Amino acid sequence: MSLAEKSLETLTETEAAAELERLAGEIARHDKLYHEQDAPEISDGDYDLLRRRNNAIEAHFPELIRADSPSRKVGAAPSSGFAKVRHSKPMLSLDNAFDEGDVYSFFASVRNFFRRPEDLARVDDKTIEVMAEPKIDGLSASLRYENGVLMLGATRGDGVVGEDITANLKTLGTIPKKLSGKGWPAVIEIRGEVYLERDGFFALNAQREKDGEPVFANPRNAAAGSLRQLDVSITARRPLRFFAYAWGEASEPFAKTHSETLAHFKEWGFSTNDRSKLCHGIDELLAFYAEIGAVRAELPYDIDGVVYKVNDLGLQERMGFASRAPRWALAHKFPAQQAQTVLTDIIIQVGRQGSLTPVAVLEPITVGGVVVQRATLHNEDEIQRKDVRPGDTVVIQRAGDVIPQVVSVIKERRPTDSAPYVFPDHCPVCGSLAVREEGQVARRCTGGLICDAQAVERLKHFVSRDAFDIEGLGAKHIAAFWEEKLIQKPGDIFRLQASQLDGREGWGPLSASNLIRAIEARRVISLDRFIYSLGITQVGQATAKLLARYYRSFGNWVAEMEQAADPESEAWRALNDIHGIGESMAADLVAFFREPHNRDLVEDLRGVLKEITDYERVAVQAGSPIAGKSVVFTGTLTAMSRSEAKARAEALGANVAGSVSGKTDYLIVGEDAGSKAEKARALGVKTLTEQEWLDLIGS
């Protein structure tokens, strides 16, 4: 039985950590394919299953939550074709529900968030007001209006930074250039979904086919591709529409409920979904979900579920946000679709850290209007569990707009000469032994830097958008330069000369000059991007930012990592005490710096870069007295639940830690406080009563 199949109750801590590692890497890759490249490789349903599995393990093993956990991330970085825009308030994703049990659990978490009787009455399962809205399958966008005039339009991107597509959005007839009515704030960001109705989608594809152009797989991809046209006239010719359903920054309050907000949006000139409904209690919500599901095929646009939002904006504000999603909203997804096809081959891909990932090659099959040809098989355990073999007829599953996973094998259709698939024990690229360590699901090539696949993939990662983001140096160029010995390690990129590209296919004087200019522009890099670019095992974007925020400077980080090699050192204890790191991740960081070739690589980079800039802390709320402070809670709080207290602290820019250390700024002590209070006294950490804490933050 594979780790992916094992129940939570039977997972050991080691197995759970390994499974979370696999899920973090896989989900991050699919996020980038979906949000950044509009080229997904798995179905929405399969993607949701990955996130669901990740969240379930995190709930069962909270001490193993990774700093780069998918539960802390949204989307992927914006592409480089448009100017980048930092959202004044993050555009977060939503947590998902897949059955009624998930919906009941969500509302139980809403009730558990509050403590006071008057609040509990407002979130009672039978009476709580919730807006239910069809979940449109399109592209999220944010529109900034100043004094009623549209000034900026942007994509969601990674939730923090998006793309400036103002000119494209202004071509949409359903987006007002100037707000109508009255009562709108001086500054207001209207957020919603850009989409294509099915009739417009079919007409667009018919014209593209007539013109000899490739057709779009589905309306969502067509909307995304249309909106990201550098030629605005192309966007203007396509029948894009916009539904408004949320807002970001607002210079002043303008409503008390979400239903009132939607009414204002209509008054101001926006289209809102007329299928949305204000429901009272969970039973009414689930009845609405069933009703929308029954008429889903009759709607003029694609939807993949229903979104539930607590209607009371006061409750929304108090609940706030988790790392990647609001605590007051939920997306209830529809079931997946299935089809059958033949699996013609299984190929092995080698990742930058040596993982051997099996990929199923399928006979092309159309599922829900999308042609799919490949699907991941995850790992060798998955192949063995399902007994997948080349030549098998398989059931595949998808929901939405992407390629599915193999659900099962129809064994009665198996060819008579079929033989079990034997997973390779050597790397298909370099021939080195591929081993599987105890407790790990992945088999890894042991070739390290001698493995071309790993070396090339690491260089691709180094120049990727979330790392050094070197425009014009794509994956195919990295592979070619590696093959031709122009680039063998990251520092070589900054030693590249335009003259070295003379005469090479695809490189003229202008393109060579542009590349060198792009490389020069990256000789100054922020510390978090630098850390992420190194490709250290388990260190994703979130972890890199966490480390940069904690250590602040490049020199301090490197020195601390080298000292942390001693398990008895203060540096090792401090690394493990960072909330979100954990012993496994700390061990991988130390292991990276223990290798001489890695230290040489880092030192080589420091020599060719102009500056690795210190981390600049950005206060979440101006004037916050706890912005940048490390806060720990202990004991039972009386004025609010622990969840609400943590949410409030994070909203004010504090880092909420789980244990007390010498770097803790405040320990907030509730009733029946235990050992944390004693440790704080021993370390000289300032302790506050709950009331002193509330006075400090102005609550």
Predicted local confidence at residue 6, as pLDDT: 67
77-91 pLDDT, tens digit each: 544 467 888 898 888
399-427 pLDDT, tens digit each: 444 457 788 999 999 999 999 999 999 98
Q: What angle do CA 33, 37, 41 make, to 5 degrees?
A: 35
Element holding 444 (H helix, E strand): strand 444-445
pLDDT of 620 higher than 50: no
Outline where 403-538 has alpha helix (H): 452-463, 475-483, 490-493, 509-520, 527-533
Query: Domain check: are 325 and 293 in the same one?
Result: yes
Cα torsion angle, 51, 592, 347, 435, sign: negative
- Whether 232 is in a domain gets the answer yes
Classify 331 as helix, strand or coil. strand
Structural domain span for residue 551? 526-613
Q: What is the residue-averaged pLDDT of the chain?
A: 85
Predicted local confidence at residue 618, as pLDDT: 42
Query: Domain check: are 310 and 254 in the same one?
Result: yes
- Whether 129 is in a domain gets the answer yes
Per-residue 3-state assignment (H helix, E strand, C coil) for 233-269: HHHHCCCEEEEEEEEEEECCCCCCEHHHHHHHHHHCC
Q: Identify the band that residue 510 occupies on the pLDDT scale cut at 50, 70 and 90.
A: confident
Kindly list the distances between the CA atom of residue 414 and the CA atoms of 78, 343, 393, 583, in Å, as whole numbers in the listed order: 44, 11, 7, 46
Output DSSP code: residue 211.
T
Query: Domain check: are 553 and 672 in the same one?
Result: no
Query: Domain check: are 605 and 634 in the same one?
Result: no
Rounded CA separation 377/436 (Å) = 17
| Catalytic option among 135, 277, 386, 676 | 135
Q: Identify the band that residue 643 occupies on the pLDDT scale cut at 50, 70 and 90.
A: confident
- Contact between 169 and 227 (Cβ < 8 Å): yes
* Residue 81 φ then ψ, to 5°: -75, -15
Domain boundary among 333, 349, 374: 333
Query: Domain check: are 544 and 634 in the same one?
Result: no
Rounded CA separation 284/276 (Å) = 13
- Contact between 72 and 324 (Cβ < 8 Å): yes
Residue 394 tokens, joined: 């398989």
How far does Cα 111 stand from its chain's mean position?
27
Contacting residues for 571 by C-beta, under 8 A, at least 6 apart: 560, 561, 563, 564
pLDDT of 336 higher than 80: no
Query: Domain check: are 609 and 635 in the same one?
Result: no
- Whether 457 is in a domain gets the answer no
Predicted local confidence at residue 129, as pLDDT: 93
Position 509, amino acid: P
Query: Domain check: are 563 and 647 in the same one?
Result: no
- Contact between 453 and 347 (Cβ < 8 Å): no
- Whether 14 is in a domain gets the answer no
- Contact between 331 and 51 (Cβ < 8 Å): no
Predicted local confidence at residue 266, as pLDDT: 96
- Contact between 634 and 668 (Cβ < 8 Å): yes
Mean pLDDT across the stretch 622-642?
81
Rounded CA separation 135/125 (Å) = 22
Q: Of 95, 242, 260, nearest to 175 (Cα)?
A: 242
Q: Of 164, 168, 150, nearest to 232 (Cα)?
A: 168
Query: What's the CATH code of the domain at 536?
Result: 1.10.150.20
- Whether 312 is in a domain gets the answer yes
Query: What's the CATH code of the domain at 658?
Result: 3.40.50.10190
Output DSSP code: residue 428.
T
Coarse DSSP helix, strand, coil percentages of the chain, rounded to the nearest 5 percent: 40, 20, 40
- Contact between 375 and 405 (Cβ < 8 Å): yes
29-65 pLDDT, tens digit each: 877 776 555 566 666 667 777 877 887 787 767 667 7
Residue 403 tokens, joined: 């390629």
Q: Identify the band that residue 346 occupies on the pLDDT scale cut at 50, 70 and 90.
A: very high
- Contact between 565 and 589 (Cβ < 8 Å): no
Q: Catalytic site residue 679?
A: no
How many residues does the structure list for the chain? 699
431-455 pLDDT, tens digit each: 888 888 777 778 888 766 567 888 8
- Contact between 321 and 335 (Cβ < 8 Å): no
Output DSSP code: residue 215.
P
Rounded CA separation 242/245 (Å) = 10
Q: Which residue has the higher pLDDT, 653 or 122?
A: 122
528-574 pLDDT, tens digit each: 999 999 988 888 888 888 888 788 899 999 999 999 989 888 889 88
Kindly list the distances between the CA atom of residue 425 and the CA atoms of 113, 422, 431, in Å, as whole numbers in the listed order: 50, 9, 9
Contacting residues for 108 by C-beta, under 8 A, at least 6 apart: none
pLDDT of 235 higher than 80: yes
- Whether 28 is in a domain gets the answer no
Rounded CA separation 692/686 (Å) = 11
Query: What's the CATH code of the domain at 98?
Result: 3.30.470.30
Cβ count within 10 A of residue 14: 13
Predicted local confidence at residue 583, as pLDDT: 83
- Whether 596 is in a domain gets the answer yes
- Contact between 398 and 337 (Cβ < 8 Å): yes
Number of domains forming the structure of the chain: 3
Query: Domain check: are 551 and 691 in the same one?
Result: no
Domain boundary among 313, 333, 353: 333
* Pairing mode, strands 277-280 and 161-163: unpaired
pLDDT of 1 higher than 60: no
Query: Domain check: are 608 and 554 in the same one?
Result: yes
- Whether 420 is in a domain gets the answer no
Spell 577-592 as b/e; 16+ CB within 10 A means b: bbbbbbebbbbebbeb
Query: Domain check: are 648 and 606 in the same one?
Result: no
Element holding 547 (H helix, E strand): helix 541-551
Q: Identify the band that residue 368 occupies on the pLDDT scale cut at 50, 70 and 90.
A: low
Q: Considering only CA atoms, give the Rg of the chain.
A: 26
Domain boundary among 306, 333, 360: 333
Kindly list the distances between the CA atom of residue 648 and the CA atoms of 63, 252, 324, 484, 633, in Å, as whole numbers in the listed order: 22, 20, 16, 55, 12
Distance, first Cα to last Cα, the chain: 52
pLDDT of 628 higher than 80: no
Half-sphere exposure for 244 (CA within 13 Å, toward CB): 25
Position 276, amino acid: S
Q: Of 59, 58, 137, 45, nearest to 99 (Cα)?
A: 45
Residue 206 tokens, joined: 């018919």
Q: Identify the band that residue 369 occupies on the pLDDT scale cut at 50, 70 and 90.
A: low
Rounded CA separation 402/29 (Å) = 14
pTM greater than the 0.85 cutoff: no
Q: What percent of the chain has pLDDT over 90?
A: 34
Query: Domain check: are 155 and 238 in the same one?
Result: yes
Query: Domain check: are 203 and 311 in the same one?
Result: yes
